[in-house]
Amino acid sequence: MSASLPPPDMGLLPEGLSDRLPPQAEASARLVRHVLDSVASFGYARVMPPMAEFEDSLLARLQSASAQDLMRATDPASGRMLALRPDITAQVSRIAATRLGKAARPLRLSYAGQVLKLRADQLRPEREETQLGAELIGTDSDAAATEIVGVAIAALKAAGVTGITIDFTLPGLVDTLATGPMPLSPDLIEPVRARLDAKDAGGLVALGPQAAAYMPLIEAAGPFHPAMERLEAIDAATGGVLTGRIAALRAIAKPIGWDITLTLDPTERHGFEYQSWFGFSIFAEGFVGELGRGGGYAIEHKDGHSEPAIGFSLYPDPLIDAGFGAEEAQSVFLPLGHNESRAAALRAEGWRTVTALSDADDGRALGCTHWLDAAETIAY
Interacting residues with a second copy between 328 and 347 (CB under 8 A) = 329, 331, 340, 347
Decide if residue 116 touches a second copy (CB under 8 A).
Answer: yes
Strand ranges across the sheet with 370-373: 352-355, 331-334, 370-373, 376-379
Interacting residues with a second copy between 143 and 182 (CB under 8 A) = 143-144, 147
Q: Of these, 31, 34, 35, 53, which contacts a second copy (CB under 8 A)?
A: 53
Which part of the chain contacts a second copy (CB under 8 A), choosing from 40-48, 182-190, 217-225, 258-266? 40-48
Interacting residues with a second copy between 175 and 194 (CB under 8 A) = none
Decide if residue 357 touches a second copy (CB under 8 A).
Answer: yes
Give the C-alpha separation, 46 to 131, whole Å: 13
Output b/e per residue, 282-311; b: 16+ Cβ within 10 A.
bbbeebeebbbbbbbbebeeeeeeebbbbb
Q: Does 87 appear as a known binding residue?
A: yes
Give the C-alpha separation, 182 to 138, whole Å: 32
Interacting residues with a second copy between 261 and 280 (CB under 8 A) = 272-275, 279
Is 3 or 374 the residue whose CB approaches a second copy more closely? Answer: 3
Which part of the chain contacts a second copy (CB under 8 A), choosing from 106-114, 203-211, 226-234, 370-378? 106-114
Could you give the C-alpha distances from 11 to 4, 81, 116, in angstroms and in order? Answer: 13, 30, 20
Decide if residue 35 touches a second copy (CB under 8 A).
Answer: no
Decide if residue 57 touches a second copy (CB under 8 A).
Answer: yes
Interacting residues with a second copy between 238 and 257 (CB under 8 A) = 255
Residue type, 304: G
Q: Give which of 42, 281, 337 is closest to 168, Cα–Cα.
A: 281
User: Other CB atoms closer than 10 Å to residue 37's CB: what's the count?
Assistant: 12
Give me the least distance between CB of 233 and a second copy, in Å please. Answer: 30
Decide if residue 52 touches a second copy (CB under 8 A).
Answer: yes
Contact 129, 114 (CB under 8 A): yes
Q: Does 267 appear as a known binding residue?
A: no
Give the C-alpha separation, 108 to 42, whole Å: 9
Q: Of these, 31, 34, 35, 106, which contacts a second copy (CB under 8 A)?
A: 106
- Residue positions in the annotated binding site for L-histidine? 87-89, 131, 135
